[in-house]
Structures are given as C-alpha cells and as structure tokens.
Amino acid sequence: MKVLKFGGTSVGSVESVLTLKQIVEHEAQKQPVVIVVSALGGITDKLLATAQLAKHGNEHWKNDFDAIADRHHRMINTIITDDQAREELSQTVDALLEQLRSIYFGVFLIHDLSEKTQNAIVSYGERLSSQIVATLITGAQWFDACQFIKTERENEKHKLDTELTNNLVRKTFVDLPRISLVPGFISRDKNTDEITNLGRGGSDYTAAIIAAALDAEVLEIWTDVDGFMTADPRVIKTAYTINELSYIEAMELCNFGAKVIYPPTIYPFV
C-alpha cells in the first residue's frame, strides 16, 4: 500500500484538486492507497485570523467567516457534479460551518480565545477539506483522524502518543479499503478528548505516522516543488532538486529550515 499526502496548494484551486483526483484514482488501480489532505490553501491562516478578530470584539469576524464558508461552497459547486452527492456533501459541510460559526460567536461574546478553543477552530480546515475530497474521489472512504491520532500533554505541549497511535492506526486500517481519505494535522488528547493538532504543517506528519504504522511501501508528499532542493527556489534561482537523500540528511535539512516538509515527518522512519 501507499500513503499519499496532498497539501494546501494541492487542494487550493479547482484545477489542482482535479489533478489530485486523477493522481489518486490512477494510483488506486495499482494498490490500496491512504490519502491525507490539508485544509484548502490559506484556510488555516484565515481561521486563525478570524479567531483573533472575534476575540477582540471586531464585528468583521462575520465577513471573514462568510468568506471562508463561501470558498468551500464555491469549491463544492464547481467540482462535485453529481446532484445527490453535492446535496449530501453540502449538508455535512453546512453542519460543520454552523458549528464553527457558533464557536466564533462564543469567542466574540466572551472576548476569550483559549488554546483549546483555538485548536477546535483550526481543526475545521481539515475537517471541511477532507469531506470535500472524499466526495470528489470515486469510492473513497473517509476516516476521522481524531479517532486514531492521539496526543498527550507534556511540558505544556501536545505530543504524539506514538504507541497508542500506532496501535489505533493498525486497528483502524486492518481491512484496508481501496482508497482511504484522512484529514491531516488534527488529533485528540488521549486523556481529555479535546481536539489538538500536530503543529502547523502537521499534515505531513499525519501521513508519515500512518505510513510507518502500516509499513507502507511508499509515502509520497505531493507539493508544488519536485522534492528537496538545494535552496529555497524563491530566493536562489539556480536551486535544483536533490535526487536522493538519507532520512538523516532529510531531517537535517528540515531542521536547518527546509520548508518542503514538516520536520517531525521523518521521525517515524528513523
């Protein structure tokens, strides 16, 4: 089996999400695949910025919320052509958006944005995008990452409980469907059940955790560059893609600032 992760840019536009569909359906003909997706490009930042507006009692949170909702509605209306599927998806998505609006409203009324509330808010990015992609890809089965990616609190931080998570991942995917679809980034605290996450950029890590636990043949991280590069191509025009790297070398590049993948992504493999 293979694990494929698609980041925000791959689910950012209609064109890129349709490419994602093609890649996944092509790969799934060869072997079972687990697909991990991020929020639609830019949505995580928007969710956080809107939370700040609400916290400061700024009425404009409503406009920002409407823009977020609109972005998802437009995506659905353009890419899901089957009437019944679109109707069902819209209901799911609208229910999620309604929850999100209520949370923002609470933040606005109380002027309080705890870490817990912020984590709940930011989780909607992946919850929404994963439902959309699961409907778009023929035969995809959606899984709730919060049921098997488990964190615990350590030194005021949320840290993955590797052993528990590995066991739960193996249990969840014991009968591997042809195409499984999983939201990246989000998790749940194993003790309190509150929604947590693996840190910004954490969808890569979700994919790596699943790939390692299931002993996948391959983990592919799809993004807008072809791989690790010798430098940031936005800064150094002559930067080129590195063909092969050991896990340790890749980890070093990440720790020295390579943005191509989230540093902990390599941990499950070393």
Residue 3, classed as helix, strand or coil, is: strand
For position 44 contacting ligand ASP by CB under 6 A, the verdict is: yes
- Contact between 39 and ligand ASP by CB under 6 A: the answer reads yes
Angle at 151 between CA 227 and CA 206, to 5 degrees: 20
- Only one of the segments 65-73, 200-208, 237-245, 248-256 lies at the binding site for ligand ASP (rule: CB under 6 A); that segment is 200-208
Give me the 176-195 binding string for ligand ASP, x by CB under 6 A, dash otherwise.
Answer: --------xx----------
Q: Least distance to Mg ion from the beta carbon of 207, Å?
A: 10
Please choose which of Mg ion, ligand ASP, none residue 39 contacts, taking the beta carbon within 5 to 8 angstroms, the exact cut-off set by kind: ligand ASP
> Which among 71-79, 84-92, 202-210, 211-219 is the span making contact with ligand ASP, rule CB under 6 A?
202-210
The single-letter DSSP state of residue 223 is -
Residue 264, interface with Mg ion (CB under 5 A)?
Answer: no
Closer residue to Mg ion in complex, CB, 6/61: 6
Residue 214: alpha-carbon gap to chain centroid: 19
128 binds, among Mg ion, ligand ASP, none (CB under 5 to 8 A by kind): none
Read off the DSSP letter of residue 207.
H
Chosen residue from 201, 202, 263, 268 binding Mg ion by CB under 5 A: 201
Q: Are strands 186-189 and 150-154 parallel, antiparallel or unpaired?
A: parallel
Residue 200 interface partner, choices ligand ASP, Mg ion, none, CB cut-off 5-8 Å depending on type: ligand ASP
Q: Decide whether 66 or 232 has the Cβ nearer to Mg ion.
A: 232
β pairing state of 33-37 and 2-6: parallel
Diameter over CA atoms, the chain: 53
202 binds ligand ASP (CB under 6 A): yes
End-to-end CA distance of the chain: 20
Could you say which DSSP state residue 198 is in? S
Does the footprint of ligand ASP cover residue 125 (CB under 6 A)? yes
In angstroms, what is the minimal distance from the CB of 25 to Mg ion? 23
Antiparallel, parallel or unpaired: β 157-160 and 150-154: antiparallel
| Nearest residue to 210 (alpha-carbon basis) of 160, 140, 155, 153 | 160
> Which is closer to ligand ASP, CB of 161 or CB of 204?
204
* C-beta closer to ligand ASP: residue 108 or 251: 251
Q: How far is CA 22 from the centre of its chain?
A: 19
From CA 113, how far away is CA 240, in angstroms rounded?
43
Contact positions vs ligand ASP (CB under 6 A): 7-8, 38-39, 44, 125, 184-185, 200-204
